[in-house]
Structure formats: structure tokens, C-alpha cells
Structure 1
Amino acid sequence: MSKWVRLKKYCELTGETESSVRLKREQGHWAEGFHYKKLAADSRIWIHTERVDQWVENESGLSE
């Protein structure tokens, strides 16, 4: 899988909703430019899947 995927694809792959992603962005859990990017050219949101996976592991205490 590509490191960067569009929001819609990320939601399809993970089962997360666009609302839950928006909430993580708004609450500052995900950093713009690191976990996600909003491209100026078309205003689409791109998610960095590897960095979000790391965030999940750290938040849940699963990291080694």
C-alpha cells in the first residue's frame, strides 16, 4: 500500500469514518504535514498510513 492515500481510500481500508478523521485533526491528535496533508491545489485530504499506524500503536500502548 502507498504511504499516502486519499481520505476516502483510507476510510475504505480502515473502516473509519470521515467524521472521526476530522475530529482527530481538529483535536490535534494528528499533525498536519505529518499524519495528513490538505493539498492546496484541490483541497483533498491525504493520510500517511504508516505514521497513523505508529500513532495507533503509541496511543494503545502496543509499541515495543
Structure 2
Amino acid sequence: MKHKDTPSNAADLTVKPEWVLAEKFEELTGVTPMAVHCRRRDGVWLDGTHCAVIARRLYVNIKEADQWIKSQLPRRAC
């Protein structure tokens, strides 16, 4: 008997990474690696939270970047 929640093959699994290379982040959002570097330099995005440099490669935390974008949206009064 087969379990319903078990995928039939590995292709059925969806991987949602939390960290991506800055180039992939640009593909997804349009935010360039240079913009990420500028946000790091200016202290807007924090290393280890929004971004990280590992082995000379720039990574972006998609979830934290998304939260930062949401925090920048203007609040509407009710």
C-alpha cells in the first residue's frame, strides 16, 4: 500500500532554498548584485541576516529580503 503523502519520484519534490546567489536573486527580483552590495555597504542589509559572502560569493536570504521589502511599503491609515 502506497502512502498518499509520499511523492512518486524525486521530480515531484519542490525545493525552496532560503539562500540564493545574488545572480539568481537578480533573476527572481530584478535587484542587481551591485544593489545588494550597496545595501550591505550602507548597512541597510546585514551580513548573516539579509546577505552573506561565503567563499567570495554573494548570497541573499530570500525570506529576509522579502521581509525587508514589506517593511519599506508605506502604511495606509484605516
TM over 0.5: yes
Q: Does 1:21 align with 2:26?
A: no
- Give structure 1 stretches of 5+ with no counterpart: none
Give the structure with higher Rg (CA).
Answer: 2
CA offsets 1:1-48 (integer angstroms, 9 cap, x no match): 311001110111111112211111111110001111111xx2101110
Q: Does 1:58 align with 2:78?
A: no
Mapped partners of 2:73, 2:66: distance in 1: 11
Give 4+ residue runs of structure 1 displaced > 3 Å after superposition. none
TM-score by length of 1: 0.83
- Higher RCO structure, 1 or 2 (CA under 8 Å, sep 6+): 1
Identify the structure with the greater helix proportion: 1
Q: What percent of counterpart residues are identical?
A: 30
> How many residues are paired up?
60
- Give structure 2 stretches of 5+ with no counterpart: 1-15
Q: Is the 8 A contact 2:26 2:33 kept in 1?
A: yes
Aligned to 1:11: 26
TM-score by length of 2: 0.70
